[in-house]
């Protein structure tokens, strides 16, 4: 084996001395491998890995310790030094490596002779004096190897592994917190209102009111936590620009993280809970971002607060396209779905137009912006929705180029690609192709027919090789062998299934609906306590997984899935600090996003104006009616604002198919339809047009007195 020269490699030994020191090597000793584990919940340069900054890795190799053994680590570097502490059978080995490469290389660590025990118990933890290591594979080698071992393509052999989040993440001042950040609010959130002196005569209606009151407390917690998230992050905004950093350890704003994942859900939280903040600071941040970050036409680049200029010295077009596409798909589209036409939708249109204006990659189907799988998935979703939103054919034509590239060319996701990755950096194409399929079904039927077979081929193959016995989806599978790279399950299982369900809505392929129902039905029994799947060590993993469940539950209301979401979101909320910060990185916005989705489920889409922390409002269905409970600790006057068919009125979509980062619709009022609104206590009834409900009906509350309303649809005018 050749040893690399020039890379940083420092190893401090607490173990007894070995015959040879650790070293980076050109290739692993395949013949000597006797046990191994590979996988990860993140991806870099096409390789899945675990980052020790989030969780320490613990594993057991069922091999008896012997002389001449070594560990081989597939060690990641981003042209920087990475550090770890390897503990083997109770003895510590500090290791650092990396430096002059961007990707992964093998690091061989000889183990000392004389280790005690019947097996190797190994822990990998963050080290001191550098960035935490990220590792894609751990192997154990021994003289003579193992003649009975399987092919090295097998994800693991004689290995048991686990992640331990608390010890590793507690090193960060933000990550690793688990507790109650707002103990002063627990009484309000946990204490049911006393039963009314005169309950509803219809037992179904009374049960719905009691459930609505519970929903009001659950929604209040979700709204409150999201509002506190804004305060936590604005406290760390750059004083000169007012923009927030990518995370609380760096001093720059970027498109793919700050703008895509964090700030948009500050905007949406403010829109629902603080209109002055929304119309003031949030809009001003948009104007500042547009002024400071546009580098190639209207495409955003990273802005350094300390440099007061670009973070990257040179223009890197592919990175800038990545930033813009993520900003639109993850951030600006959810805002647009809620608000409709606004300055945020104009920003989205400008970015997408200029991404395609600068598209550099020649293909048989025309120029496309990039070969990045994730980014093309973003663009499929963005262009499909903007086609409907604007009515301009160019967006559909651009999306069709990408559809042709993946479905009609030589880049089919399951037929032509060796690896199929189904996490949040790869599931966008799986979902995005279904959004294009919807658009073609209504506006380009000949393309729908061309896509039908290869689209179904992709979904059928995923069901065949990428789902476990409970219907959940693996993070990474090998298309050629049909086997998962590891047992890790993606927290983005729902994002993938959004695409399946969309295909079911169009083609009535019941296997796709059945797959969704199977996954939802198994959540409570098999995944309670691990709601974030492979990322259950982060709030972000819970956020994405619960979002997927909410979106699919909206279409397939399986009761046990609702119970699972109610339980798992408490773990996500337990990561939030008293100052409102959750984990101190851009993923905090995803927790706020899912909290808002959860709140709107519990209110059936109702919001109030003005929002106040003591005002609790919730809704539930009962006896064919919508039952609403509203209460406040102090007198309050305002409006109950009912939701509308946003997919139709804001986005002009032909049907409400499931979409990543959408805010599902629950009870929607329709202009021109009449609704009876009855005060359950007084018996007073009013007939209102749906337009009045959408604009908001006036409500006056006395301190501590529950208002109960029953809303039922009457007839169209």
Burial class of residue 393 in the structure, from the number of CB atoms within 10 Å of its CB (0-12 exposed, 13-18 middle, 19+ buried): exposed
In a domain, 100, yes or no: yes
In a domain, 22, yes or no: yes
Q: Which two tokens stand for residue 108?
A: 């061989």
In a domain, 68, yes or no: yes
Name residues of the chain where pLDDT drops below 50. Answer: 1-19, 166-172
**Residue 102 has what pLDDT?**
86
**Residue 170 has what pLDDT?**
38
In a domain, 221, yes or no: no
**Residue 75 has what pLDDT?**
93
Kindly list the distances between the CA atom of residue 469 and the CA atoms of 25, 40, 466, 474, 549, in Å, as whole numbers in the listed order: 39, 20, 10, 11, 18
- What CATH number has the domain bearing residue 154? 2.60.120.260
Domain count of the fold of the chain: 1
Q: How far apart are CA 315 and CA 313, in angstroms?
A: 7
**Residue 20 has what pLDDT?**
58
**pLDDT > 70 in the chain, percent:** 95
In a domain, 149, yes or no: yes
pLDDT in tens, 107-137: 999 998 888 888 998 989 887 767 889 999 9
pLDDT in tens, 388-439: 999 999 999 999 999 999 999 999 999 999 989 999 878 999 999 999 999 9
Q: Which two tokens stand for residue 209?
A: 């009111």
In a domain, 366, yes or no: no
In a domain, 108, yes or no: yes
Neighbours of 507 (CB within 10 A): 15
Q: How far apart are CA 230 and CA 704, in angstroms?
A: 28
Alpha helix (H) ranges present in 466-575?
A: 493-507, 510-527, 539-553, 559-573
**Residue 164 has what pLDDT?**
62
Neighbours of 469 (CB within 10 A): 8
Q: Which two tokens stand for residue 643?
A: 């939701």
**Residue 717 has what pLDDT?**
53
**Residue 6 has what pLDDT?**
34
In a domain, 376, yes or no: no
Domain containing residue 157: 8-164
φ and ψ at residue 123, rounded to 5 degrees: -125, 135
Query: How long, in residues, is the chain?
Result: 717
**Residue 13 has what pLDDT?**
32
**pTM reported for the whole predicted model:** 0.81
């Amino acid at each position: 084996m050749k040893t690399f020269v020039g890379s940083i490699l420092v190893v401090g030994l607490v173990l007894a001395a070995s015959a040879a020191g650790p070293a980076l090597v050109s290739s692993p000793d395949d013949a000597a491998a006797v046990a191994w584990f590979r996988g990860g919940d993140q991806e870099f340069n096409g390789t899945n890995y675990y980052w020790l900054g989030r969780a320490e890795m613990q594993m057991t190799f069922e091999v008896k310790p012997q002389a001449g053994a070594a560990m081989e680590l597939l060690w990641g570097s981003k042209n920087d030094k990475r550090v770890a502490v390897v503990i083997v059978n109770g003895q510590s080995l500090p290791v650092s490596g990396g430096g002059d490469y961007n990707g992964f290389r093998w690091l061989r660590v000889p183990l000392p002779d004389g280790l005690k025990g019947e097996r190797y118990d190994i822990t990998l933890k963050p080290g001191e004096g550098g960035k935490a290591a990220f590792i894609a594979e751990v192997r154990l080698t021994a003289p003579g190897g193992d003649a009975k071992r399987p092919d090295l393509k097998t994800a693991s052999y004689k290995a048991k592994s686990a992640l331990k989040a608390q010890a590793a993440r507690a090193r960060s001042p933000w990550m690793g917190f688990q507790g109650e950040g707002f103990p002063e609010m627990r009484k309000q959130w946990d204490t049911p209102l006393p039963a009314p002196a005169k309950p509803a005569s219809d037992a179904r209606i009374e049960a719905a009111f009691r459930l609505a009151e519970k929903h009001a407390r659950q929604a209040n917690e979700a709204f409150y936590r999201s509002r506190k998230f804004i305060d936590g992050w604005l406290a760390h905004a750059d004083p000169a620009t007012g923009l927030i950093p990518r995370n609380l350890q760096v001093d720059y704003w970027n498109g793919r993280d700050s703008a895509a994942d964090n700030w948009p859900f500050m905007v949406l939280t403010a829109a629902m809970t603080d209109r002055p903040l929304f119309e003031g600071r949030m809009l001003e941040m948009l104007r500042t971002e547009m002024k400071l970050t546009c580098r190639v036409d209207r495409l955003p680049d990273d802005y350094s607060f300390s440099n007061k200029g670009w973070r990257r010295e040179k223009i890197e077009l592919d990175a800038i396209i990545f930033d813009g596409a993520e900003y639109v798909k993850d951030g600006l589209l959810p805002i647009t779905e809620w608000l409709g036409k606004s300055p945020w939708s104009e920003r989205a249109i400008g970015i997408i137009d200029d991404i395609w204006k600068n598209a550099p990659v020649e293909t048989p189907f025309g120029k496309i912006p990039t070969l990045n799988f994730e980014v093309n998935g973003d663009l499929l979703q963005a262009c499909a929705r903007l086609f409907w939103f604007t009515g301009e054919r160019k967006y559909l034509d651009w999306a069709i180029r990408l559809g042709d590239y993946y479905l009609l060319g030589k880049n089919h996701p399951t037929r032509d690609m060796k690896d199929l990755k189904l996490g949040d950096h790869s599931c966008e194409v799986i979902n995005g192709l279904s959004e294009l399929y919807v658009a073609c079904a209504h506006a380009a039927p000949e393309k729908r027919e061309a896509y039908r077979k290869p689209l179904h081929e992709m979904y059928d193959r995923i069901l065949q090789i990428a789902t476990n016995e409970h219907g959940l989806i693996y993070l990474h599978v090998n298309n050629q062998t049909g086997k998962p790279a590891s047992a890790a399950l993606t927290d983005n299982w729902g994002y993938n299934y959004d695409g399946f369900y969309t295909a079911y809505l169009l083609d009535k392929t019941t296997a796709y609906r059945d797959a969704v129902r199977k996954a939802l039905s198994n959540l409570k029994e098999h995944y309670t306590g691990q709601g974030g799947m492979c990322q259950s060590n982060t709030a972000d993993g819970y956020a994405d997984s619960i979002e997927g469940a909410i979106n699919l539950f909206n279409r397939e209301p399986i009761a046990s899935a609702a119970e699972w979401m109610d339980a798992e979101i408490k773990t996500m909320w337990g990561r939030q600090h008293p100052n409102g910060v959750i984990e101190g990185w851009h993923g905090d916005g995803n927790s706020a996003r899912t909290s808002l989705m959860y709140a709107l489920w519990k209110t059936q889409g109702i919001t109030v104006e003005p929002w106040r922390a003591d005002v609790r409002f919730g809704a539930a269905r009962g006896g064919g009616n919508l039952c609403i409970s509203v209460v406040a600790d102090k007198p309050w006057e305002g409006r109950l604002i009912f939701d509308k068919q946003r997919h139709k009125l804001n986005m002009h979509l032909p049907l409400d198919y499931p979409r990543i980062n959408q805010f599902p619709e629950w009870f929607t009022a329709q202009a021109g339809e009449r609704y009876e609104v009855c005060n359950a206590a007084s018996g007073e009834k009013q007939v209102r047009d749906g337009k009045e409900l959408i604009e908001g009906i006036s409500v006056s509350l006395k301190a501590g007195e529950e208002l109960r309303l029953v809303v039922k649809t009457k007839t169209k005018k």
